[in-house]
């Protein structure tokens, strides 16, 4: 594989205004995420940004940023637009979509998203972690029904939902919103129309499953922090 990491970011955020530029220990959050992506050492790192202040922050830190159309409907579209600009010849066959609001990701967690691609049937890869019991009924917590055999860390995602799935006894998994795409899979995904279940659950990854694409999952030990509110930002600084 020859991966590239792309971090989509834009300033439009209702719960935490100018979120990518929010300071964590004196650095903009988008710079914190960029530094962790670089530390993973799996390939070049590009920030796909819809706003010039984000580009300026990344370039001031020594990174590479690409301006994308702020009207693009999703982070996946922003990632694909950036990839076509920086790699028009298609040298990078795997694209890692790293969220710009996850500033405490470890090197190992970022690298883990590549493991499902050892299976040639996998089009898209993502991460899951053990679901905390108190998050089972939380509609803001996305759950993954994943076929993981006991003792195995890699398997397939069968469904994602805001509902408490699956039923019955056994482990449940919290979906961690980091994705790896084979290049052809991302090119196909952004051309697909939003699916019936995607609109119902408000989960973009269901579009891929509805279209018959295979999503592989890698189990990690914890749910990385996401910063979406002022309270989250205070915890990140702490």
Q: What does the pLDDT read at residue 115?
A: 98
Cis-peptide, bond into residue 17, ω within 30° of zero: no
CA distance linking residue 36 with residue 23, whole number of Å: 16
Is 67 in contact with 53 (CB distance < 8 Å)?
no
Which range of residues forms the domain containing residue 33? Answer: 3-237
Residues in contact with 203: Cβ distance below 8 Å, sequence separation at least 6, in sequence order: 142, 160, 161, 162, 197
What stretch of H or E contains 192? none
Residues in contact with 59: Cβ distance below 8 Å, sequence separation at least 6, in sequence order: 65
| Residue for token pair 């295979």 | 214
pLDDT per 10-residue tile (average), the chain, 238 residues? 95 84 95 96 95 96 94 90 96 96 94 98 98 94 93 96 95 96 97 95 96 98 93 93
pTM: 0.94
User: 93: domain CATH number?
Assistant: 3.90.550.10
In DSSP terms, 175 is beta-bridged to 128
Q: What does the pLDDT read at residue 81?
A: 96
| Residue for token pair 């004196």 | 26
Q: For the chain, what is the domain count?
A: 1
């Amino acid at each position: 594989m020859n991966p590239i990491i792309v971090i989509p970011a834009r300033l439009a955020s209702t719960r935490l205004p100018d979120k990518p530029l929010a300071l964590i220990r004196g650095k903009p959050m988008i710079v914190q995420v960029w530094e962790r992506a670089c530390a993973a050492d799996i390939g070049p790192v590009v920030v796909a940004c819809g706003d010039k202040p984000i580009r300026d922050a990344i370039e001031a830190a020594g990174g590479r940023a690409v301006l994308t159309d702020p009207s693009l409907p999703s982070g996946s579209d922003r990632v694909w637009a950036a990839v076509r600009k920086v790699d028009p010849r298609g040298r990078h066959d795997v694209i890692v979509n790293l969220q710009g609001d996850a500033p405490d990701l470890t090197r190992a967690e970022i690298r883990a998203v590549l493991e499902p691609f050892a299976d040639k049937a996998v089009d898209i890869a993502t991460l899951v972690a053990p679901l905390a019991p108190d998050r089972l009924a939380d509609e803001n917590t996305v759950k993954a029904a994943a076929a993981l055999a006991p003792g195995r860390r890699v398997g397939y995602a069968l469904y994602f939902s805001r509902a408490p799935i699956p039923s019955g006894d056994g482990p449940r998994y919290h979906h961690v919103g980091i994705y790896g795409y084979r290049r052809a899979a991302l090119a196909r995904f952004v051309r697909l129309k939003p699916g019936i279940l995607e609109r119902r659950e408000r989960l973009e990854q269901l579009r891929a499953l509805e279209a018959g694409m295979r999503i592989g999952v890698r189990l990690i030990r914890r749910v990385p922090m996401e910063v979406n509110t002022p309270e989250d930002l205070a915890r990140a600084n702490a």
